[in-house]
Amino acid sequence: MKQYSDLEFLRLSKWQRFCHKLIAFFCAIPRAIANFFKNIGKTVVKFFRKAGAEFKDIGQTFTQGDWRTKTSFLVMGFGNLTHGQILRGIMFLLFEVVFIVYMITTGGYWMSMLPSLGKQGPTTEYDPIYDSYTTVYHDNSFKILLYGVLTIFFIIAFIYTWRTNVKQCKTIDQIIKRGGKLKSDKDDLRSMVDEQFYKTLLALPLTGILVFTVLPIVFMILVAFTNYDGAHNGYANNLFTWVGLDNFNTMLSWQGGAGGTQSYAATFGEILAWTLMWAFLATFTNYFLGMFVAMMINKKGIHLKKVWRTILVMTIAIPQFISLLYVSKMFARNGLINLALLDLGWIKEPLPFWEDATWARVSVVLINIWIGIPHLMLIATGILMNIPADLYESARIDGANAWQQYSKITLPYMLFITGPYLLTSFTGNMNNFNVIYLLTGGAPTNVAASGAAGSVGHTDLLITWLFKITTGAESQYYLASVVGILVFVVVALISLVVYNVLPSIKNEEDFQ
Amino acid sequence: MNNTTEKRHMGLKALNRASNTAIYILLILISVIWLIPFVFIVLQSFRVESTYQVGYVIPHQWGLQNYINLWNSDFKRWYLNTFIIALAAAVLTTVIQLCMSYTLSRFRFKMRGPLMRFMLILGMFPGMLTMIILYRVLSDIGLTQANAVPGLILVSVASSGMGYYVSKGFFDTIPKSLDEAARVDGATRLQVLYKIILPLAKPIVIYTILTAFMGPWGDYVFARYVAMGTSAGYNVAVGMYSWLSADQIANWYTTFCAGGVIVAVPVTILFLCLQKYYVEGVTGGAVKG
């Protein structure tokens, strides 16, 4: 690869710079991987060194501390309580009591079951009183996995709290030795709305995210390594258990299915290709057409600007499911458009909007333009108004025509500002469930892929496929989970590449 | 002015007029294309001679039968469900998102950078993945099927902190010197927030309320999953989708149109009233990300 000095680099055209960065990024990958493995060693050493320092600190606190500090090692918060910091002390103590009670009553059971995900499934037993056979339920793999993960979270939180408790004892000892004044409860309460206000503000949102996003995601990642599906639901019929990497092998194997159907890997590749194509088309058609509409409305000498804008903006307000479902039925085989065209005698056969793969794909992209332009128009309008007018003025004086003004001023400006937006909109479109599901439901069916779970269709994105697997007859949650992880990998890779190449990566503080 | 420049000037003017005319024609065309499906929905909601799809738009017989059908169906319940969810989400989501975005915009603490990166990565997982487990958990605590409403509120509010980007972008534009001046005068951080920042943040508060309120009206996937076929727990999207299934559509198509009108009109009016704030939020916050 050609190396440029700084000066040479600045002389390149935009396009050359972009290419240069792109190539540089991919050339750097092998070295980055090598560095990654080199760094693993360093990180391990660093980790142990840090852990050693922690243990040393804990030991020192213990040997140098007085009896109150020493008791705190067992009874958390004791040091705080005896030094008059009642609030902190009670919090520590309460947490310890809750933790111990939880671990003894249930936590221990979940942890012990985690490696096997349950020993005994439901059994049919003879009931002598009613003289009949009844099903008796035993372990519940689902709960074991869920509460097992939760217990691990809890243990980590406990260790962290315990360490904080020890640190606080050390601080107290030091302050007393210096003859300083300890913080009172009143100080603590005041700091909750002042220096530490961010902790108060973040407590609720972060708890929500931890319980309803992080925990489920960790759980679902783990599900990819089990055989959890409709036939092994962990409680009512069979337990599920760990299967290692089997599910990834299934998803990425090239072995064809029964009856000459294609392999999972081929199906996955096909859907991925369409997902990327869709995301690309959906993002850029909307982007350029939205910009075009915004420029038309913004043009000098066009009247009723507000009316045009309001008409488009109004369509944002109407819930998408109404407009999408209505339009989907409008183009259906026996829908308004086909019936009207048949009545007029313009066509003999209904047009296959949703029955033919190519027709369906083109239709979803076109209808998505209809859905997306108003939004893009708004964003583009905001930016276009911010472009300094004197740029155009001087361009006109220099004799630039409309196209030159567009390509040399408007477009670069837009691209620069909306770079990050384009990226999020691209990944958002990759996961655009609503438009695809409400318009086509994935139809028409992809016959070649019938060996794969969840009846794959030609317009299915990975995300709708995931949904279909989940709600399908066999509910192969483990496959859905594998698809989900692969979607994450693809999105993360694209984001990584784009963030490294994009010119408008900026320092966050620059804005403020 | 000599003759040639005048001619050129006239030429430019004519060109300009021509291009303006072309733009007007295009804009009218665009407006028609964008509005026509909605006009069709309204017209078809008044068609009483048949309930299935037909090849014409203007009803042969006008009437309110479809709206009466709507009143006699479960639609009332669905509408109420959705309205409750939207209202609760509007209040709670706004509080949570403002907490989150204000904190990330104003405070500099040790875990801030890692936290934001972590949430960025978290956002790359398809949210649908978590549906299965959330459903089982909700069903364990009895918040599914007929009781789907509190369950849906809980789930949508709990993870709403992730969508802090737009309002954080807005808070970033409020000068920090305001905070500092107040802090010098002895105000606590809490006082700074509700005495200085909140009054200035009115546009973004309204934007957040508006988007949070409008979201649940189109919420389909998770709502369907949680309701699991129990009509009493449906929201409008799930319920009306069931009317368009292959075996229902012949009887319910025009009623669907009527329902669409009833759902869309209030939301659209609200939206148009607060349009100014929405535009501000989208153009100000969304771009900066």
How far A22 CA lies from chain B's nearest CA (Å)? 22
What is the interface size between A and B, counted as CB pairs within 8 Å? 257
Q: Please report which confidence band the pLDDT of residue A503 belongs to, taking 50, 70 and 90 as the band edges.
A: low
Distance CA(B27)–CA(A310), nearest Å, equals 12
The mean predicted confidence, pLDDT, of chain A is: 84
- Could you tell me if A192 and A233 lie in one domain? yes
What are the tokens at A292?
């075009």
- Could you tell me if A389 and A405 lie in one domain? yes
- Could you tell me if A104 and A231 lie in one domain? yes
Q: Judge whether A505 is closer than 8 Å to chain B, CB to CB.
A: no
Task: Please count the other Cβ atoms lying within 10 Å of the Cβ belonging to residue A239.
Answer: 24
How far B218 CA lies from chain A's nearest CA (Å)? 5
Contacts of B4 (CB under 8 A, 6+ apart): none
Is the N-terminal amide bond of A374 cis, ω within 30° of 0?
no
The structural domain count of chain A equals: 3
What are the tokens at A114?
């985690």
Beta bridge partners of A128: none
Tell me: pLDDT of A126 over 50.
yes
How far A427 CA lies from chain B's nearest CA (Å)? 8
Beta bridge partners of A123: A136
Residue A255 located in a structural domain: no
What are the tokens at A272?
């991925």
Q: Please report which confidence band the pLDDT of residue A344 belongs to, taking 50, 70 and 90 as the band edges.
A: confident
Whole-number Cα distances in Å, B161 to A268, A338, B104, B126: 32, 45, 11, 16
Which CATH number goes with the domain that contains A495?
1.10.3720.10
What is this model's ipTM?
0.87
Beta bridge partners of A242: A226
Tell me: pLDDT of A510 over 60.
no
Do A484 and B128 make contact, defined as CB atoms within 8 angstroms? yes
The full 3-state SS of A318-345, as one line of letters, equals CCHHHHHHHHHHHCCCCCHHHHHHHHHC
Distance CA(B191)–CA(B179), nearest Å, equals 10
Do B130 and A320 make contact, defined as CB atoms within 8 angstroms? no
Please give the backbone phi and psi of residue B87, each rounded to the nearest 5 degrees, phi first: -65, -50
Do B129 and A512 make contact, defined as CB atoms within 8 angstroms? no
- Could you tell me if A139 and A194 lie in one domain? yes
**Residues of A numbered 195-214 whose beta carbons fall under 8 angstroms of chain B's beta carbons: which are they?**
195, 197-198, 201-202, 204-206, 208-209, 211-214
Whole-number Cα distances in Å, B180 to A195, B110, B161: 13, 20, 26
Q: Please report which confidence band the pLDDT of residue A235 belongs to, taking 50, 70 and 90 as the band edges.
A: confident
- Could you tell me if A117 and A38 lie in one domain? no
Q: Which residues of B touch A325 (CB under 8 A)?
A: 240-241, 244, 256
Instruction: Evaluate the CA torsion angle B51, B55, B59, B61 in order and state its sign.
Output: negative
Best mutation target, A293, A308, A326, A334, to test chain B (most B CBs within 10 A): A326
Using the 3D structure, point to which of A9, A27, A61 is the last residue of a domain: A61
How far B180 CA lies from chain A's nearest CA (Å)? 13
- Could you tell me if A187 and A287 lie in one domain? no
The per-residue pLDDT for range A16-40, each reduced to its tens digit, is: 777 777 787 777 778 878 888 888 8
Do B155 and A431 make contact, defined as CB atoms within 8 angstroms? no
* Burial of A72 per CB tally in 10 Å (0-12, 13-18, 19+): buried
Q: Please report which confidence band the pLDDT of residue B10 belongs to, taking 50, 70 and 90 as the band edges.
A: low
Mean pLDDT, residues B144-161: 87
Q: For position A386, what pLDDT does the model report?
A: 78
Mean pLDDT, residues A385-403: 82
- Could you tell me if A393 and A498 lie in one domain? yes
Using the 3D structure, point to which of A61, A88, A103 is the last residue of a domain: A61
Residue A375 located in a structural domain: yes
Q: What is the DSSP letter of B52?
A: S
- Could you tell me if A236 and A273 lie in one domain? no
Tell me: pLDDT of A197 over 90.
no
Q: Please report which confidence band the pLDDT of residue A1 belongs to, taking 50, 70 and 90 as the band edges.
A: low
* Burial of B179 per CB tally in 10 Å (0-12, 13-18, 19+): middle
- Give residue limits of the domains in chain B: 3-65, 76-288
- Could you tell me if A27 and A75 lie in one domain? no
How far A323 CA lies from chain B's nearest CA (Å)? 8
Do B162 and A327 make contact, defined as CB atoms within 8 angstroms? no
- Could you tell me if A48 and A71 lie in one domain? no
Q: Which residues of B touch A370 (CB under 8 A)?
A: 33-34
The answer to whether domain B76-288 has CATH 1.20.1250.20 is no
Do A343 and B56 make contact, defined as CB atoms within 8 angstroms? yes
- Could you tell me if A27 and A129 lie in one domain? no
- Which among A201, A220, A375 is the nearest to B102, CB-wise? A201
Whole-number Cα distances in Å, A389 to A297, A377, A385, A419: 16, 19, 9, 22
Mean pLDDT, residues A221-237: 86
Domain that holds residue A294: 262-506
Residue A251 located in a structural domain: no
Whole-number Cα distances in Å, B25 to A297, B20, B29: 12, 9, 6
Mean pLDDT, residues A71-98: 87
Best mutation target, A202, A368, A379, to test chain B (most B CBs within 10 A): A202
Q: For position A512, what pLDDT does the model report?
A: 38
Q: For position A506, what pLDDT does the model report?
A: 47
The per-residue pLDDT for range B62-91, each reduced to its tens digit, is: 888 889 988 888 899 999 999 999 999 999
- Could you tell me if A93 and A188 lie in one domain? yes
Tell me: pLDDT of B1 over 50.
no
Q: Judge whether A302 is closer than 8 Å to chain B, CB to CB.
A: yes
DSSP letters spanning A56-74:
HHHHHHHHHS-HHHHHHTT
Q: For position A96, what pLDDT does the model report?
A: 92
pTM of the model as a whole: 0.85
Beta bridge partners of A363: none
Residue A447 located in a structural domain: yes
Give the residue among A434, A314, A208, A201 at the shortest CA–CA distance from B194.
Answer: A201
Q: Please report which confidence band the pLDDT of residue B6 belongs to, taking 50, 70 and 90 as the band edges.
A: low
> For residues A481 and A224, is the Cβ–Cβ distance under 8 A?
yes
Q: Which residues of A touch B41 (CB under 8 A)?
A: 322, 326
Tell me: pLDDT of A279 over 90.
yes
Tell me: pLDDT of A101 over 90.
yes
Q: Which residues of A touch B35 (CB under 8 A)?
A: 311, 314-315
Distance CA(A210)–CA(A200), nearest Å, equals 16
Task: Count CA atoms closer than 13 A to A259's CA, side-chain side.
Answer: 6
Q: Which residues of B touch A302 (CB under 8 A)?
A: 20, 23-24, 27
Using the 3D structure, point to which of A244, A273, A302 is the last residue of a domain: A244
